[in-house]
Structure formats: structure tokens, C-alpha cells
Amino acid sequence: MPQDFLSYYSASFRRLLANQKDRTDHVVRLPDTYPLAFRHVQNFLYTGHIVPDHKELHDFSILVELWRAGYYLGIDGLCEATIEALHKCRDGTRQIPSTDLFCHVWECTPDGTSLREFFLSAAVEFIKVSDQRADFVQSLPRTILSDVALALARWDKHVSSWNMPCLRCFKEPLVRPFRNPVDPEIDGAPGYFEKITNPMDLATMKCKMDLGEYASDQEFIKDMRQMFANCRTYWPAKHELQERCNLLENATGSRGLPRNKGFVVEVTRGNMWWPFTY
């Protein structure tokens, strides 16, 4: 790969090549980089995408190695792109990374990194909505379990301490399934629009809000209730999305609003409150 090209995108290569300007050929060994992951690194460097043609990569292990390559090689934007891919992998597979992969991440990444935060958010979400939470918790080593316990405490503290007219404390995993319109093929929802005649999602609600299409707070609440009703109509009672729907509805209150007596929606002034970090 051209030296100038690598130096432009990678802080690690910039440092490596800075004192070797007279050399024309370099052999750089990357013993800690998984070859298949580096293939995706190259694709990202040349195209800006992890995989060709905007496809998705549903392999937690490869994505973890890809994030590590981006982190340790200092490749601009790769860690962020990989975290987004991890979220899509989580949503697409409806699975959580294995305990072995949790251990691997804790062994090879620093505390506070975005990769650890993703794994912690996945763990918190799984514990909150899954019937298999006990087995999962028992499988985690103490060092990881202590971090998960802290993450759970932060989540519970945020949920129980709402005293402002917003839900910015809402964590991404809970909101994500409702963020965009349902795509029956991508979301694994065959016949969705045959069963759901009035689809609704947070992105549509935000767009309507930005365009000033809500004439009152009741119209906003109606759309939110419609979103919850659609979820319950399509998905079976024990489905994971039903669990998330219940958590989200309970957190926002039965009227679709946060539990705050002083809440006011100023529709006429164009200051409609938007409850979710988007």
C-alpha cells in the first residue's frame, strides 16, 4: 500500500514512517492483527466502508478484531464505523456476544473504550429483557461482572432520576429497534405491512416534529401509542421486541410522556419537545 496513503489515514503509520523518509520499501509486521479483519481494514481505507456494497458484517469476532486494528493503528473513523456495525450485528442476529468474546475484549482493550462500552450496553440490555439472564451472569468472570454491575447501576439511576422534560438518558439499545421504519427483509418481519396498516417509528415522529406537523401534544402521544401498538400486534407476546416495547412504554409513562408534573409541550411556538437522543 502507498506510504503516503497509509500515513494520511493512520496515526500509527505516520509515526512509523516519519523517521524513515529515505526508504522506499517497508515491510511492517502486524502479528496481533487478524488477517481477515485486515482485509476489512483495507476495504475501509479505500472505500470508507467496512464491507463492499454497503453490506453488513454479522460476525462479532471479526468486528472486535477490526475495532482493535482501528484503535491500535490509529485509523481515522474505523472504530466509530465498527461500533455502528456491531450495533447492526446485534440487531440483525438478535444475539449477544459470547462469554469468551467478553473475556477477550476485557483482556485486550483498555477500560473506557467504545468497544467495552458496546459490550456493557449489550450485557445490560440482555439482563433487562432476557429470560436467560441468570445463566449469562453466572458465566461472566468477576472482573467483567463488576463492570456490568456498575453499568446496570448507572442505567437504573438514570431511569429512576428523570426530573427533566427529556429522555436523553435513554440508552441506545432500548430505543434502537423503534428508531427507523421497519424493513420487513432486513428486520426479519415477513408480511409486516399486511398486518400493520399504520406503521410508526421514532424517525418519522422526529421528522413530523421538525416539519411542524404536530398540532398538539396529543397528536404526538397518539403516534407514540401507535408505535407501541404495532409492536404488540406483529410480534408474539414472548418476543424480545415485546419486552423492549414494555420497558420503553413503562419508562415513558402510560401517556407516552416522562413522569414529570411540570411538563409542557409548546407546539405553537415550534418548540415541540423531543424525548429521545437521536
More confident site: 176 or 236: 236
pLDDT tens figures, 182-227:
989 888 899 999 999 999 988 888 777 767 777 777 788 888 889 9
Q: Please give the pLDDT value at position 11.
A: 65
Grid cell at residue 179: 428508531
pLDDT at residue 157 greater than cutoff 90: no
Q: Which residues contact 18 (CB under 8 A, 6 or more apart)?
A: none
CB contact at 8 A, 159 and 152: no
Secondary structure of 170-193 in the HEC alphabet? Answer: CCHHHHHHHCCCCCCCCCCCCCHH
CB contact at 8 A, 73 and 79: no
Q: How many CB atoms lie within 10 A of CB 251?
A: 17
d(CA 250, CA 39): 44
pLDDT tens figures, 224-258:
889 999 999 999 988 888 888 887 777 665 444 44
Within a 13 Å sphere around the CA of 69, how many CA atoms are in the beta-carbon half? 28
Domains of the chain: 3-160 (3.30.710), 163-278 (1.20.920.10)
Q: How many CB atoms lie within 10 A of CB 196?
A: 18
Q: Please give the pLDDT value at position 208.
A: 79
CB contact at 8 A, 173 and 125: yes
More confident site: 181 or 92: 181
The pTM for the full model equals 0.55
Kindly indicate the confidence band of residue 104, based on its pLDDT and cuts at 50, 70 and 90: very high
d(CA 149, CA 159): 15
Cα 158 versus chain centre, distance:
18
d(CA 245, CA 240): 9
Percentage of the chain lying above the pLDDT 70 cut? 69
The length of the chain, given as a count of residues = 278
Average pLDDT, the chain: 75
d(CA 223, CA 177): 16
Q: Please give the pLDDT value at position 259.
A: 39
